[in-house]
Amino acid sequence: MAFSFDTSAELFPAAIRKKKRAGFAYRRFDNAADAVRFAIEELPADSLNGAYLQVDEARFDQKGIRSLYESEGYPHKRREPEAAEALKEDAA
């Protein structure tokens, strides 16, 4: 079965947090494409590490989310790699 970026998705934070910091909370998205974009382009790298995306019965870890972002079927325009990295560094 092919992956559908139009399916609703849920993004869950890492299960264990050793230190208190401003992370992200559970978020639900109307479509998986928006969830993938948010996870890769807006979450700081340490928040993405350990988080997972659930789409229907499928779960994607950080590596899986990145694979979806880089796939040919990803419907949104991707951010330039330098811009995405700079934003993550500024957020840290």
Say if 80 falls within a structural domain.
Answer: yes
Whole-number Å distance between alpha carbons of 3 and 80: 24
Whole-number Å distance between alpha carbons of 69 and 65: 6
Say if 3 falls within a structural domain.
Answer: no
pLDDT for 92: 54
Phi and psi, residue 23, nearest 5°: -110, -145
CB 10 within 8 A of CB 53: yes
Say if 54 falls within a structural domain.
Answer: yes
Instruction: Give the count of domains, the chain.
Output: 1
Structural domain for 28, as ranges? 9-15+23-91
Does residue 61 have a pLDDT over 90?
yes
CB 11 within 8 A of CB 53: yes
pLDDT for 50: 87
Say if 62 falls within a structural domain.
Answer: yes
The predicted model gives 31-59 an average pLDDT of 92
Say if 48 falls within a structural domain.
Answer: yes
pLDDT tens-digit readout, 5-39: 999 999 998 765 555 555 678 999 999 999 999 99
Say if 47 falls within a structural domain.
Answer: yes
Phi and psi, residue 30, nearest 5°: -65, -30
CB 47 within 8 A of CB 24: yes
Does residue 79 have a pLDDT over 90?
no
